Structure 1
Amino acid sequence: MRLSLLRPVIDRPGPWATVYAGLPPTTEDADEQQELTASAISAQLFAQGADEATCGAVHEALVARREGEPTGDAGHVLFAAHGVVVLDTPLPGRPATSLAAWGPVPRVTPLLAAVGDDPVCLVVRLDRRGADLSVVGERGPEGAGQAGDADRPPHRTVSGDWPERHVRTKAENTAEHTAAEIAEAVRDAYDSCGAEAVVLIGDARERHLVHDKLPEQLRAVTYESEHGGRAPGSETALVERDIAQVRAVQERDRVAAVTDRFRTGEAPGGKSAPLAAAGIPALIEAAREHRIDTLLVGPHGSDLGRQVWVGDDVDQLAVRGTELKYLGEEHPAAARADDALVRSVAASGARVVVVRDPEQAPAGGLGAILRWEEEPPPE
């Protein structure tokens, strides 16, 4: 998962209120039900030790009705601290159970499990004139520019002064030129937005022309959808299904590659070294030293809820509270191992990959691929 969404939460000290809740259905008593839910959640937080200001901020956020907000099967998660809701973001579906937690670090693991690896996909809707590019990822679709010339005529008409073969050649040259422009724009957007796959949408001829002009490496991760197009009103549910399938394939392949590296301890580039860590003590030590490249999280592992100790600083984490005194924390607090590790690795720029398959996940549900074995490489 891309952890940029969590940056506002990672960068602020706690303690934190974390709430996972479903949005109310559109019914006559929706407002009343929303008020009851907000009051119950605020009471739970207060009973766990949350301050009144933070409970009030959570209550206000939960009762606020947003225009255009989904209802029914949707949900959201919010994180609040020191009387402020720092992050309120939608979930892809309604949470199986509501959660209200108060603690020294935010409860982010359920969010990771709900969102998954969430690969970014570059979607290209094209026609004879050009293309519209958009990025589909954890924040939904976002525009990524256009390519081609909207003023260029899509074809030439035959007249007495223009032999038919000449007209056909001009049209083919125009189509080739437009396809080359689109392919160049796709390559630039792919590199800049961090996408992991490309989906071409439009007529078969235009799709094939653009596909053939992409660099070989990019063609390997480019898919074509036979549904929809660039014109307004041409979007269908089948297009959304095709995009979702491409993203699912990318997530599956990435998780398989990460779990293979974890099992073999293989470093990037094929270098063999013991670059995998498992077990809470080893993971805590690696996180403190910023040696974790990728943290693997199995949502149902037994190690996720194990107690560790943390301080205000993201590098202040230990298996025993007494260890934190040597790290400058006089008042250590108990936290879940999964959330403490995610907070630490997110701050250090590492990745988190959710491994849903219990057979692929590390024993206990937590593991890591390391950046180096013991000491950082020489500069």
Structure 2
Amino acid sequence: MDLASLRPVYEHDGPFATVYLEGRAPGEDAAQQVRLRWRALRERLEADGADARAVDAAEEAIRTGTPGADQADGRVVVAHPEAGVVLDERWDAALGTGDAAYWGHLPELGAYGREAARAVRALVVLADQEGAQVRQEVVAEQHTPQVRAEEDVAGGAQEGVHKPREGGLSHRVIHHRAENAVSRNAQDVADHVARTAESFHPRVVILAGEVRARAAVRDALPASLHVPVAETSRGGAGAGASDEALDDEVLRIAAHESTSDAEHRVEQLRSGLAHDRAAEGGRAVAAAAEMGAVDTLLLEDGAAAAREAFLLRHCADSSATLAVAPAGTGLKDGVGALLRFPLEQSTPG
């Protein structure tokens, strides 16, 4: 997660009200359930001395939402007494974590940041022999993949892509032309994927659809793409194809990439600690954050990080990224950082 996206929140001096609604299966009384849940959260904020203006702003945002969607996806809202709502996003923790409300000098964005950091940007290509549907998706845990953009790409081949069944010289010529048409269309799709990747910055490209078409697209992707490519036989672009099956496969592939990335970050941390290019523990990471030295902030999954709200605020100011280390990594105080420069270089003398 690029923490610079949180800068608009930190443009305001605190205090802030931070409210989390846990994702739950919506029922027929979803609106009533959201009202009851909000009432309990409001009472917590008022007990903590929250400014009524911030509480009212948060309530207005929650009441004007879509109850069923809020229950299914979960939600995080941050409100300021003067600026009103400064953050309103989808969010979900593991079922059973519960709703939460905080009033403090800094917003409590650790849970939101952790989920966003685990999310994977994926380019999903549903290929057929004449082109493809290309989706830009953001895949977060326990959510249906969120489609940011969707484009239909038609290949430029003028020849037909279907091969004749009979033999003979003329049929071999048609067969060859059909092969060339598939290759030409696949190249056009691959070029579109490469151009889209330059702006979307996917973590993985997922090829689905017809076997022959997706294999042709894979072969046509440029070596300069530098993005992992995964294939799946589930789902497809044709009528009657199962979007649910494809979504399940996208979730599976994204989870694998997220885990792989987290493990790689821990390896980088261990190596960096040996060469003064990493820090571990609340005090050391806080010092690095104040100096603008943090390139990637690492929070351990399932472990409370020391001074988490403080670290997120300072790392957002310096445009650091946020990553989540796997549970059980054993980071000191639940936090580590990859550094832009060794800390001793920033200290005179």
The number of equivalent residue pairs is 336
**Take 2:133 and 2:337, find their aligned partners in 1: how far apart are those partners?**
39
Cα separation, 2, equivalents of 1:138 and 1:86: 24
What are the equivalent positions in structure 2 for 1:2-21 lying under 5 Å apart?
Answer: 2-3=2-3, 5-21=5-21
Matches within 5 A, 1:208-357: 208-216=215-223, 218=225, 221-265=228-272, 273-301=275-303, 304=305, 306=306, 337-357=307-327
The partner residue of 2:331 within 362, 372, 375 is 362
Shift of 1:229: 1.5
Matched to 1:143, the amino acid is A
After superposition, what is the alpha-carbon deviation per residue over 1:185-234, rounded to whole angstroms, capped at 9, x for unaligned?
A: 11222222111211011111011111112234648711111022223442
Using the TM superposition, give the Cα deviation of residue 274 of structure 1 relative to its aligned residue in structure 2, in angstroms.
1.1
Unaligned runs of 5+ in 1: 267-271, 307-336
Q: Which amino acid aligns with 1:274?
A: D
Alignment-derived partner of residue 91 in structure 2? 91
Alignment TM-score, normalising by the size of structure 2: 0.86
Contact 1:128 1:154 in 2 (8 A): no
Following TM superposition, by how much is the alpha carbon of 1:296 offset from its aligned partner in structure 2, in angstroms? 0.8
Name the counterpart of 2:120.
119
The reply to whether residue 178 of structure 1 matches residue 185 of structure 2 is yes
How far apart, CA to CA, are the structure 2 residues paired with 1:19 and 1:220?
36
- Checking the alignment, whether the CA contact within 8 Å between 2:209 and 2:235 is kept in structure 1 is yes
Aligned counterparts of 2:13 and 2:239: Cα–Cα separation in 1? 47
Counting only pairs closer than 5 Å after superposition, residues 102-113 of structure 1 correspond to structure 2 as 102-113=103-114
Structure 1 position 370, deviation (Å): 0.7
Aligned AA (2:161): H
1:57 aligns with 2:36: no
Contact 1:296 1:361 in 2 (8 A): no
Normalized per residue, the structure richer in helix is 2
Mapped contact 2:23–2:91 kept (Cα < 8 A): no
1:101 aligns with 2:102: yes
Is 1:148 aligned to 2:149, yes or no? Answer: no
**TM-score, reference length from structure 1:** 0.79
Distance 1:204-1:4 versus aligned 2 partners, 3 A rule? farther
Hey, what does 1:313 align to over in structure 2? none
Deviates more, 1:24-33 or 1:283-292: 24-33
Return 5+ residue gaps in structure 2 as ranges.
141-145
What is aligned with 2:135? Answer: 134
Instruction: State yes or no: 1:204 paired with 2:203.
Output: no
Which residue of structure 1 lines up, in the alignment, with residue 80 of structure 2?
81
Q: Which residue of 1 aligns with 2:34?
A: 34
Q: Given that residues 24 and 34 in structure 1 are in contact (C-alpha distance below 8 angstroms), is that contact kept between their aligned partners in structure 2?
A: no
Deviations 1:308-352 (A, max 9, x none): xxxxxxxxxxxxxxxxxxxxxxxxxxxxx1111012112211111
Q: How far 1:177 sits from its partner (Å)?
A: 0.7
**Aligned in 2, Cα 1:28/1:262: closer, same or farther, shift over 3 Å?**
closer
CA RMSD of aligned residues (A): 2.8
Check conservation: 2:160, 2:177, Cα contact below 8 A: no
